[in-house]
């Protein structure tokens, strides 16, 4: 593992190892704990190169806050990063990142939307989010990662960074990672080390209050005032907890909510002694999403349809959506290698999936025209793989798939459904089988078509090569999500695999 203190050194390193590699970036302020480890582990799992930054950002601290006292454990942090598999750590000085030939206030500042800073921590920490946005924007510009990972504990920061990346047209995917908690329920934080043992026990009131509100939500309560009141009642039981705020806002826009229609972010900030703690929970009113990924030949399409039908959920036919774009390219007379024209076409196309019965084949509409039959022609089939490899097409369709899945109630399959399309899916399955098993299945299919001259070993070599290509694609490579359940289908029938996934779903639903 390399450790860099300068932008010049890091950029030189990136030119050497990152020229053709997908980079995952984990920005931190050091004092790494289990929460940071979860971000790093996911970055390693989903990218070819994982880079962590360690920088205590002075721009996000007010004069009255704990900048000088904030824990700095660079040597231990670097050792942990190396143990986890990080390729490089960027640990610049404030001079390298902030003060460039003048006072710190001469630094160009990224100013997020005022409305997003007027709620939650914003009024209590003036200047904090412009400081965060400025340094994160600088890090994203320096490293230019494919993905950057942030914890959901800092939910306001996450929403603001997403907005900044979108508004500045930064070509990075902002990945949210679940809160990691101690056994007591206390969310991991670098500031937890400030707490005494008794204060750590008292701090669990934050998590208990969120869970109390969640129970109210699960019984059907959707009114903000009632959910906030329930949380405050639980917090009041611990007199040592000094509440700064309890608010309910939209998780994306941060606008205050009166009623939860789709999802609400219930967030708390409170003090124990001189230590400020934050915590939150997403209250989501949607049907479940089941994401099924895996290599070619594992039986994903058939199993996904069966699961959708059994649960009466929509089968999100992502393959049909790529076929729809291929049809549109063909129909529009655009050359298959004219990537800019295809990018314009895909970014403005409206694709709808309609079905009368869950689990059954869907009707596909492109810009209002039913193309269900047209997308299955040989002419379209011959263009699908070429079109699907284009970043602009995948980005456009991922956005549309996410819109379709906003209210849940879907089962989808692919190679990046659980990692990119629906990272917050309630159930993630990685469906796989040995190369030999997949080759046997392919051989049976070919023999059923009358093709009897195919060699099993040849099929195995072809499948191994397909796996290699899929897992090393620059765009959306095949990866098993860190929280996905692996289901190995060797020796199992379609019915048995379906039953196994349904059982896993019911176990998750009970929890």
Q: What is the pLDDT of residues 186-218, one digit of tens each?
A: 999 999 999 999 999 999 999 999 999 999 999
**Domain residue limits, the chain:** 2-177, 190-284, 287-313+409-511, 316-404
Residue ranges in 67-106 assigned as alpha helix (H):
74-84, 94-97
DSSP string, 288-311: -EEEEE--TTS-HHHHHHHHHHHH
Nearest-angstrom CA–CA distance, 187 and 279: 7
pLDDT digits (tens, 9 = 90+) for 37-47: 999 999 998 88
Confidence of residue 297 (pLDDT cuts 50, 70, 90): confident
Predicted pLDDT of residue 470? 81
Nearest-angstrom CA–CA distance, 139 and 135: 6
CATH code given to domain 316-404: 3.40.50.300
- How many residues are recorded in the chain? 511
Looking at per-residue pLDDT, the higher value among 278 and 378 belongs to: 278
Residues 6+ apart with CB under 8 A from 39: 26, 28, 149, 150, 151, 177
Nearest-angstrom CA–CA distance, 323 and 319: 6
pTM of the model: 0.86
Confidence of residue 62 (pLDDT cuts 50, 70, 90): confident
CATH number among 3.40.50.300, 3.30.1360.170, 3.40.50.620, 3.90.1010.10, domain 2-177: 3.40.50.620
What's the rounded mean pLDDT across residues 141-168?
97
Per mean pLDDT, which range of 14-18, 133-137, 180-184 is the poorest? Answer: 14-18
CB 428 within 8 A of CB 293: yes
pLDDT value at 19 more than 90: no
pLDDT value at 359 more than 80: no
Predicted pLDDT of residue 5? 97
pLDDT value at 453 more than 80: no
Predicted pLDDT of residue 357? 65
Predicted pLDDT of residue 139? 97
Q: Give the strand order in the sheet containing 173-177.
A: 2-4, 88-90, 49-54, 23-28, 147-151, 173-177
What's the rounded mean pLDDT across residues 396-420?
90
Predicted pLDDT of residue 45? 87
Predicted pLDDT of residue 101? 43
Residue written as token pair 């989501």: 284
pLDDT value at 405 more than 70: yes
Percent pLDDT > 90 in the chain is: 69
pLDDT, mean over the chain: 91
pLDDT digits (tens, 9 = 90+) for 207-252: 999 999 999 999 999 999 999 999 999 999 999 999 999 999 999 9
Nearest-angstrom CA–CA distance, 76 and 32: 8
Q: Report the range out of 17-31, 126-140, 289-303 with the highest average pLDDT.
A: 126-140
* First and final C-alpha spacing in the chain: 40
Burial class (CB in 10 A: 0-12, 13-18, 19+), 510: exposed
Confidence of residue 286 (pLDDT cuts 50, 70, 90): confident
Phi, psi of 111 (to 5 degrees): -110, 105
Predicted pLDDT of residue 279? 98
HSE toward the beta carbon, residue 186, CA cutoff 13 A: 22
Residues 6+ apart with CB under 8 A from 40: 26, 50, 52, 81, 84, 85, 86, 149
HSE toward the beta carbon, residue 161, CA cutoff 13 A: 26
Q: 287-313+409-511: which CATH topology?
A: Rossmann fold (3.40.50)
pLDDT digits (tens, 9 = 90+) for 258-271: 999 999 999 999 99
pLDDT digits (tens, 9 = 90+) for 423-450: 989 999 999 999 999 998 888 888 887 7
Question: Strand pairing partners for 149?
Answer: 175
Residues with active-site annotation: 36
| Of residues 427, 366, 423, the one with CA closest to residue 396 | 366
Phi, psi of 355 (to 5 degrees): -150, 150
Confidence of residue 511 (pLDDT cuts 50, 70, 90): low
CATH code given to domain 190-284: 3.30.1300.10
Domain 190-284 and domain 316-404, same fold? Reply is no
pLDDT value at 99 more than 60: no
pLDDT value at 146 more than 60: yes
pLDDT digits (tens, 9 = 90+) for 334-358: 988 899 999 999 999 999 888 766 5
């Amino acid at each position: 593992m390399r450790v860099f203190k300068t932008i010049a050194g890091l950029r030189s390193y990136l030119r050497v190892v990152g020229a053709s590699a997908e980079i995952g970036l984990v920005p931190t302020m050091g004092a790494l704990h289990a929460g940071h480890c979860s971000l790093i582990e996911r970055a390693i799992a989903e990218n070819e190169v994982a880079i962590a930054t360690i920088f205590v950002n002075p721009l996000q601290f007010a004069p009255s806050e704990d900048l000088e006292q904030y824990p700095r454990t660079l040597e231990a942090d670097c050792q942990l990063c190396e143990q986890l598999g990080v390729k490089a750590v960027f640990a610049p000085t404030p001079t390298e990142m902030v003060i460039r030939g003048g006072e710190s206030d001469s630094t160009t500042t990224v100013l997020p939307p005022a409305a997003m800073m007027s709620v939650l921590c914003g009024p209590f920490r003036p200047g904090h989010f412009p400081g965060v946005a400025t340094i994160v924007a600088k890090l994203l510009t320096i490293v230019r990662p494919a993905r950057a990972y942030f914890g959901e504990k800092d939910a306001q920061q996450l929403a603001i960074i997403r907005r900044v990346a979108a508004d500045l047209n930064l070509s990075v995917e902002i990945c949210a990672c679940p809160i990691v908690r101690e056994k007591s329920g206390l969310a991991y934080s670098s500031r937890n080390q400030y707490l005494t043992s008794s204060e750590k026990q008292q701090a669990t009131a934050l998590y208990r209050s969120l869970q109390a509100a969640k129970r109210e939500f699960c019984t059907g309560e959707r009114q903000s005032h009632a959910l906030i009141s329930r949380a405050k009642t639980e917090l009041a039981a611990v007199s040592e907890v000094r509440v700064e705020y309890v608010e309910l806002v939209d998780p994306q826009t941060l606008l205050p909510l009166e009623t939860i229609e789709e999802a609400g972010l219930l967030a708390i900030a409170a003090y124990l002694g001189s230590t400020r703690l934050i915590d939150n929970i997403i209250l989501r009113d949607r049907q479940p999403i089941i994401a099924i990924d895996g290599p070619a030949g594992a039986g994903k399409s058939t199993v996904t349809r069966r699961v959708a039908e059994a649960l009466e959920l929509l089968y999100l036919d992502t393959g049909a959506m790529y076929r729809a774009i291929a049809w549109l390219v063909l129909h529009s007379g655009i050359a298959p290698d004219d990537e800019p024209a295809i990018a314009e076409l895909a970014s403005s196309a409206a694709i709808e999936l309609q079905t009368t019965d869950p689990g059954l084949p869907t009707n596909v509409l492109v810009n209002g025209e039913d193309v269900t039959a047209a997308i299955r022609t040989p002419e379209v089939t011959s263009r699908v793989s070429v079109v699907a490899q284009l970043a602009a097409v995948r980005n456009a369709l991922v956005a549309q798939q996410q819109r379709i899945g906003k209210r849940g109630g879907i089962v989808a399959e692919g190679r990046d459904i659980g990692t990119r399309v629906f990272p917050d899916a309630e159930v993630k399955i990685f469906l796989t089988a040995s190369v030999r098993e997949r080759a046997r299945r392919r051989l049976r299919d070919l023999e059923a078509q009358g093709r009897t001259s195919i060699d099993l070993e040849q099929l195995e070599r072809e499948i191994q090569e397909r796996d290699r290509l899929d897992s090393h694609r620059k765009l959306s490579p095949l990866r098993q999500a860190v929280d996905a359940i692996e289901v190995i289908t060797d020796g199992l029938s379609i019915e048995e695999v379906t039953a196994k996934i349904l059982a896993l779903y019911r176990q998750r639903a009970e929890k």
